[in-house]
A and B are shown apart, each in its own frame.
Chain A
């Protein structure tokens, strides 16, 4: 009930500032399954993400973190609630709007999900290619630049299979940033890495998003990386329970 009234309040607020608020979620509910199996996975989520903010979302497995991330990433249809991402309302949004939002969001997965048949450079360029205004050369230069920034300047021509897990995740970071996103969503980006490499990758991510002026929502279980966050959210049974300030 409380969540519901909060969402009404949000609607009442005039002139939501898109420049400073990257994500504005009020009263988000989500269900999976039909009939008897119907399961209320997200229960009245309220969430704001400001510009240049790094927020870490943690919580037990199965509490709905990934579902929340896919909804924010315009990858899944919003069933109920107010979800505004980068100034666009996602509830009932058309494919065109969803695609436009996706292009302005970088995504990093637990598995790196690179294209196996493309080199590191080409993988990053797949991100840059989404920007249709830039001519080919600039997109290429941009990919080079990003790979240099993630420390892979000498691995441009390698296929993902020839890279280590940490290197692949760095390529994935470079790819996610190649389309110049305003928002980056990362789902357990260190889960497949050892703790040392995981730490390195997250620090890199932190530095990169600061340089590129991007907001981040990162889902993680890893307690050793919580300190990179400006804000910590803990999720439990489909609700955001506690908001702790960063250590």
Chain B
């Protein structure tokens, strides 16, 4: 059936007029493709940076090994995580869907650069070394070392300003640093990654954490409170339904979220409290505008230059619609031919960005599709505008 149809289509093919119109003017085609590709690259970069920056805001959030989390309703973002009563977590553990729970302490502390002594704010996570809290396989062997007091695991992806901790550690040196007025010893290196709010991270036991002072001046919260509660559910349990039940049952001093909602909670903060989204979307829109103008110019001049020829085709019996089809096929071809180089350039620039910065920019399928759709839309819209010129092709006026 399908081969028959294909054969039928193949036999019905005609002179590829749109293709010939484009390729018989190679210089103009090259200019058009350069313009479209440029617009595409602009879109890839702007949207890529935007997504990467939002993605960077949840680097740590992604790492938590949980299906449902509890936070305080007063928490607005990872920048300002507020405490809630620890017993809410044990209340939540009573639901039969819940397989295990783990309390997590979360706060910013003053870390003194062990080389220069300069203090800088860093995110500290504190939890029971017996709990599996983070989705980092290397922690399994390292976490037991935290049982001793004043031991920490240091994020090797923390910014250089925190000191040459990874280098020293790898050289086999004993690395000690001040956190507030507590001296800690680095027991290992982990890979977590910088995020919007935290330039560096460390992990410690809940007991060591309790000795730290809050870097924002206040005293660390009392033992009865935690900033984050992690809940792992039995396989097959419906996290969203459970969250709805918990919202209805638990007191209003705690806010249950699915892990996805937790990620969205953090991203929404950055989306609404910064103009990152606006700025980068505007940049991508610029790309669309530039590209549209170029494609419109090309297609419009194509129709005006060939007006007599289009009129001749009408006189021969070609319908207006079939000529519109020619212009739209030109637009489609421009989109396809222009997209490919911009995709390749985007891939290269993403790789370059990743190698030069810590920005997690990547050519996702969604990104590739989004930019393709934008270019396609841009070419289609320009084609539709340029096509109005075709009305002037009057077969009565060609003699």
* A and B part of one assembly: yes
Q: Give B10-43 as 1s and 0s: 1 = Cβ < 8 Å from A's Cβ atoms.
A: 1111110100110011000000000000000000
B24–A137 contact, CB under 8 A?
A: no
- The reply to whether B17 and A130 contact each other, CB–CB distance below 8 Å, is no
From known contacts A116-B306, A118-B20, infer whether A129 and B317 are also in contact, taking CB-CB under 8 Å.
Answer: no
Q: Interface centre among B14, B306, B314, B316, by most A CB within 10 Å? A: B316
Give A175 to B315 CA distance when docked, in angstroms: 12
Asked if B395 and A75 sit within 8 Å, CB to CB, the answer is: yes
Given contacts A117-B24, A135-B11, contact A109 B316 (CB under 8 A): no
Q: Are A117 and B20 in contact (CB under 8 A)?
A: yes
Q: Cβ of A190 < 8 Å from any Cβ of B?
A: no
Question: In the docked arrangement, what's the CA distance between A204 and B10, Å?
Answer: 34
A235 at the interface (CB under 8 A from B): no
Does A156 have its Cβ within 8 Å of any Cβ on chain B? no
* Whole-angstrom distance between the Cβ of B282 and the nearest chain A Cβ: 39
A residues 60-76 near B (Cβ < 8 Å) are 66, 69-70, 73, 75-76
Q: How far is the CB of A98 from chain B (nearest CB, A)?
A: 9
Cβ-defined contact, A110 with B319, below 8 A: no
Q: Check if B398 is an interface residue, CB within 8 A of chain A.
A: yes
Q: Chain A residues with Cβ under 8 A from B319's Cβ?
A: 95, 99
Q: Is B11 touching A70 in the complex (CB atoms < 8 A)?
A: no
| B399 pairs with A70, CB closer than 8 A | yes
- Write out, one digit per residue, whether chain B residues 30-70 have a CB within 8 A of any chain A CB (1) or not (0): 00000000000000000000000000000000000000000
Q: Smallest Cβ distance from B178 to chain A, in angstroms?
A: 76
- Nearest CB on B from A132, distance (A): 7
Expressed in whole angstroms, the Cα–Cα distance for A95 and B320 within the complex equals 10
Question: Shortest CB–CB separation between residue A133 and chain B, in angstroms?
Answer: 10
Residue contact B15 to A118, C-beta cutoff 8 Å: yes
Interface residues of A, CB < 8 Å — how many?
Answer: 37
* 1/0 contact string of B369-399 vs chain A (CB within 8 Å): 0000000000000000000000000011011
Chain B residues with CB below 8 A from A107, complex form: 312, 315-316
Asked if A122 contacts B20 (CB within 8 A), the reply is yes
CB-nearest residue of chain B to A176: B316
Q: Once the chains bind, are B309 and A70 in contact (CB under 8 Å)? A: no
Which residues of the partner chain A approach B11 to less than 8 Å between Cβ atoms?
135-137
Residues of B within 8 A of A136 (CB): 10-14
Do B316 and A103 touch (CB < 8 A)?
yes
Can you name the residue of chain A whose Cβ is closest to the Cβ of B23? A117
Most B C-beta atoms less than 10 A away, residue of A66, A111, A113: A113
Complex interface residues of chain A between 136 and 173 (CB less than 8 A to chain B): 136-137, 159
The complex places the Cα of A99 from the Cα of B313 at a distance, in Å, of 11
Question: Shortest CB–CB separation between residue A155 and chain B, in angstroms?
Answer: 17
- Interface contact B21-A117, CB-CB below 8 Å: yes
Q: How far is the CA of A242 from the CA of B317 in the complex (A)?
A: 33
Contact A115/B309 with A102-B316, A125-B15, A137-B11 known, Cβ cut-off 8 Å: yes
Decide if B12 touches A102 in the complex (CB within 8 Å): no
Contact residues, A76-108 vs B (CB, 8 A): 76, 95, 99-100, 102-105, 107
CA distance A169 to B11 in the complex (A): 29
Range of interface residues on B (Cβ < 8 Å): 20 to 34
The answer on a CB contact under 8 Å between B14 and A73 is no
Check if B263 is an interface residue, CB within 8 A of chain A: no
Counting CB contacts under 8 A, is A198 at the interface?
no
Chain A residues in 8 Å Cβ range of B17? 115, 117-118, 126
- Inter-subunit contact B309/A113 (CB<8 Å): yes
Q: Does A127 contact B (CB under 8 A)?
A: yes
A117 and B330 alpha carbons, distance in the complex (Å): 14
Q: Does A179 contact B (CB under 8 A)?
A: yes
Measured between beta carbons, the chain B residues less than 8 angstroms from A115 are 17, 306, 309, 312-313
In chain B, positions 297-330 with a C-beta closer than 8 Å to chain A are 306, 308-309, 312-319
In the bound complex, what is the Cα–Cα distance between A187 and B312 (angstroms)?
13
**Bound complex: CA of A109 vs CA of B318, how far in Å?**
17
Taking a contact as CB atoms closer than 8 A, the residue among B13, B15, B398 that contacts A122 in the complex is B15
User: Among residues 174 to 194 in chain A, which have CB atoms less than 8 Å away from a CB atom of chain B?
Assistant: 175, 179, 187
Whole-angstrom distance between the alpha carbons of A151 and B15 in the complex? 22
Residues of A within 8 A of B399 (CB): 66, 69-70, 109-110, 187
Given A70-B399, A117-B21, check contact A126 B10 (CB 8 Å): no
In the bound assembly, the distance between CA atoms of A21 and B319 in angstroms comes to 27
Name the residue of chain A whose CB is nearest to the CB of B311.
A113
As a 0/1 sequence over residues 44 to 63 of chain A, the CB contacts with chain B under 8 angstroms (1 = contact) are: 00000000000000000000
Q: Are B317 and A73 within 8 A (Cβ)?
A: no
CA distance A159 to B21 in the complex (A): 12
Minimum CB distance partner of B394 in chain A: A75
| A116 surroundings in chain B (CB, below 8 A) | 24, 306, 309
Give the residues in chain B near A114, CB-CB below 8 Å: 309
Query: How far is the CB of A129 from the nearest CB of chain B, in Å?
Result: 4
Given the contacts A113-B309, A136-B11, A76 and B396 also touching, CB distance less than 8 Å: yes
- Cβ 8 A contact of B316, one of A70, A76, A100, A127: A127
- For the A-B complex with A115-B312, A117-B306, A126-B17 known, give 6 more contacts whose Cβ atoms are closer than 8 Å: A109-B399, A116-B24, A126-B316, A129-B15, A135-B11, A137-B11
Q: Interface on A for B, CB 8 Å cutoff?
A: 66, 69-70, 73, 75-76, 95, 99-100, 102-105, 107, 109-111, 113-118, 122, 125-127, 129-130, 132, 135-137, 159, 175, 179, 187
16 contacts between A and B (CB under 8 A): A76-B396, A105-B317, A107-B312, A109-B312, A113-B308, A116-B24, A116-B309, A117-B20, A118-B17, A122-B20, A125-B15, A135-B12, A136-B11, A136-B13, A159-B24, A179-B316
